[in-house]
């Protein structure tokens, strides 16, 4: 309690610093952006979408428009072994490539270090820390060192894979004490976020989105093949397949269903590389853990996995991505009743045998980035937007206490906003206006300093 009081006193916000240029991987434009629109040497301000532009290495301008980031809407272990890669066919249709790196089997996180996302680190050091003092400032520096996933939520961000993967290869070649692995979120389906508004993406099915998405996947694949000596973990399309289980009554989801499924199969096929481990997104306990949903969930994953040819690179499922659920709680929150699967551990252990029966690999990773306080400020289990009272959760580790769970991970970069509270905004979602949502909040993906301060103060365990 004493430390928490010190941290609370320390987060008094100082006047925001003014920067002549945005730093590497920093924001440089977008609706509502008032900072610098130029980048440091070697980086170019690159359009992502209307709400977000980013300083990316060696990238020519994609557009004169301004950009969007996304709603970001997180034991005994089998050993990891290395075998020789074999010829793999994929990439652009008709292209055969021969990756030369090692193939990954078993838990890809075991005895590995997760790459500390330099973009997220840059946000913390250039946006957050200048506004913090004392114990909170010191804690924020430690947050910047935590391995966190990179979101490839627009095509404009895909070329940055070269920089990230090249950097990781150099770190490993220099003799890192633990081999560093890369971690990315594949998140750019056409008509994305079909049951919400906060994270609508850049592609639409009606405007050539299917072909554009295939190009997006093919381009990712090309970078992964080029850097086949780097082991990579991919989380595939948060929220997408979960919506196919529960939101077929939403016209946009019903219209997108066949596209979501076929493109997920395409992604599994094309990213089935020896150095890659994929986890498909499986919502969370409060979404798919209900008795009426869990069976259809297993059926769907089994069907799509089979349609994709049961690719070896598909390791399992990711749960609680960008959400706030605890992994294992001592007492179920009242709002979870009557769902007996009131936390991620219960959900995973209920889902696993159903997946196995369908031939799908029952291994999991859990996003614990914002699960430090339970139940937090949520009034309803469906509260997902900028939840007040939240804190950073358990750090990434393979010591999960559950043989089904490969690792706790930080998929959502805490401090990047879930969605705007501005009711006049095009992407305003009602969930960002409920009592539990912190306000005022910027657009999804933009830096939310007050929320980051809260996550630091409430971190459990503390930094």
257-275 tens-digit pLDDT: 999 999 999 999 999 999 9
Three-class SS state of 107: coil
pLDDT score, position 98: 47
Q: What percent of the chain has pLDDT over 90?
A: 76
Give the tens place of pLDDT for each residue, 101-142.
567 889 999 999 999 999 999 999 999 999 999 999 999 999
- pLDDT(360) > 80: yes
Paired tokens of 342: 């009131």
Domain 2-18+83-457: CATH class, spelled out: alpha beta
Say if CB 152 and CB 202 are below 8 A apart: no
To the question of pTM greater than 0.75 for the whole model, the response is yes
Pick the residue with more confidence: 168 or 95? Answer: 168
Please give the average per-residue pLDDT across 218-230, as a whole number: 98
Paired tokens of 327: 């992994």
Q: Which of 188, 239, 367, 429 is catalytic?
A: 239
Say if CB 443 and CB 68 are below 8 A apart: yes
Q: Which of 218, 406, 418, 429 is catalytic?
A: 418
Category of 292 on φ-ψ map: left (φ > 0), alpha (ψ -120 to 50) or beta: alpha
Give the tens place of pLDDT for each residue, 419-444.
999 999 999 999 999 999 999 999 99
Is 111 known to be catalytic?
no
pLDDT band at 381 (very low <50, low <70, confident <90, very high): very high
Paired tokens of 102: 């090692």
Give the tens place of pLDDT for each residue, 394-419.
999 999 999 999 999 999 999 999 99
Is 281 known to be catalytic?
no
pLDDT score, position 16: 37
- The C-alpha atoms of residue 155 and residue 345 are separated, in whole angstroms, by 34
Q: What is the DSSP string of 212-227?
A: HHHHHHHHHHHHHHHT
pLDDT score, position 28: 81
The domain limits of the chain are 2-18+83-457
Q: Which of 153, 193, 218, 383 is catalytic?
A: 193
What lies within 8 Å, CB to CB, of 53 at 6+ separation is 27, 28, 29, 30, 33, 37, 45, 46, 47, 66, 67
Which of 7-11, 83-87, 219-223 is the least confident region?
83-87
pLDDT score, position 349: 99
Pick the residue with more confidence: 396 or 78? Answer: 396
- pLDDT(313) > 90: yes
Supply the mean pLDDT for the chain: 87
């Amino acid at each position: 309690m004493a430390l928490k009081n010190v941290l609370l006193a320390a987060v008094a916000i100082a006047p925001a610093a003014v920067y002549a240029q945005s730093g590497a991987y920093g924001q440089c434009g977008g609706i509502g952006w008032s900072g610098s629109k130029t980048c440091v040497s070697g980086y170019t301000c690159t359009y992502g979408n209307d709400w977000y532009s980013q300083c990316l290495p060696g990238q020519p301008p994609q557009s004169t428009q301004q950009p969007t980031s996304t709603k970001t809407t997180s034991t005994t272990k089998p050993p990891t072994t290395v075998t020789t890669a074999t010829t793999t066919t994929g990439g652009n249709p008709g292209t055969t490539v021969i990756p030369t790196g090692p193939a990954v089997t078993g838990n890809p996180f075991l005895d590995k270090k997760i790459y500390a996302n330099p973009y997220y680190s840059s946000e913390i050091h250039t946006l957050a820390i200048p506004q913090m003092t004392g114990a909170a400032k010191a804690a924020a520096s430690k947050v910047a060192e935590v391995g966190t996933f990179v979101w490839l939520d627009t095509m404009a961000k895909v070329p940055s894979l070269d920089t990230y993967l090249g950097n990781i290869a150099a770190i490993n070649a220099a003799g890192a004490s633990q081999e560093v692995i890369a971690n990315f979120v594949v998140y750019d389906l056409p008509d994305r976020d079909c049951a919400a508004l906060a994270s609508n993406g850049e592609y639409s099915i009606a405007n050539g989105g299917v072909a554009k998405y295939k190009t997006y996947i093919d381009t990712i694949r090309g970078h992964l093949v080029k850097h086949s000596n780097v082991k990579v973990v991919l989380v595939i399309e948060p929220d997408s397949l979960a919506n196919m289980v529960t939101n077929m009554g939403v016209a946009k989801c019903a219209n997108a269903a066949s596209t979501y499924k076929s493109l997920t199969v395409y992604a599994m096929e094309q990213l089935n590389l020896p150095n890659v481990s994929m986890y498909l997104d499986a919502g969370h306990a409060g979404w798919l853990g209900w008795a009426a949903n869990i069976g259809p969930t297993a059926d769907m994953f089994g069907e799509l996995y089979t349609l994709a040819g049961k690719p070896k690179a598909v390791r399992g499922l990711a749960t609680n991505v960008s959400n706030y659920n605890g992994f294992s709680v001592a007492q179920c929150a009242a709002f979870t009743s009557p769902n007996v699967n009131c936390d991620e551990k219960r959900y995973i252990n209920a889902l696993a045998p159903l997946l196995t029966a369908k031939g799908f690999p029952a291994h999991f990773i859990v996003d614990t980035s914002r699960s430090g306080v339970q139940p937090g400020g949520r009034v309803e289990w469906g509260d997902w937007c900028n939840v007040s009272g939240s804190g950073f959760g358990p750090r990434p580790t393979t010591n999960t206490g559950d043989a089904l769970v490969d690792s706790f991970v930080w998929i959502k970069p805490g401090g990047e906003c879930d969605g705007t509270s501005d009711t006049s905004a095009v992407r305003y979602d009602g969930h960002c206006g409920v009592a539990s949502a912190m306000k005022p909040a910027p657009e999804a993906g933009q830096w939310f300093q007050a929320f980051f301060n809260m996550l630091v103060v409430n971190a459990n365990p503390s930094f």
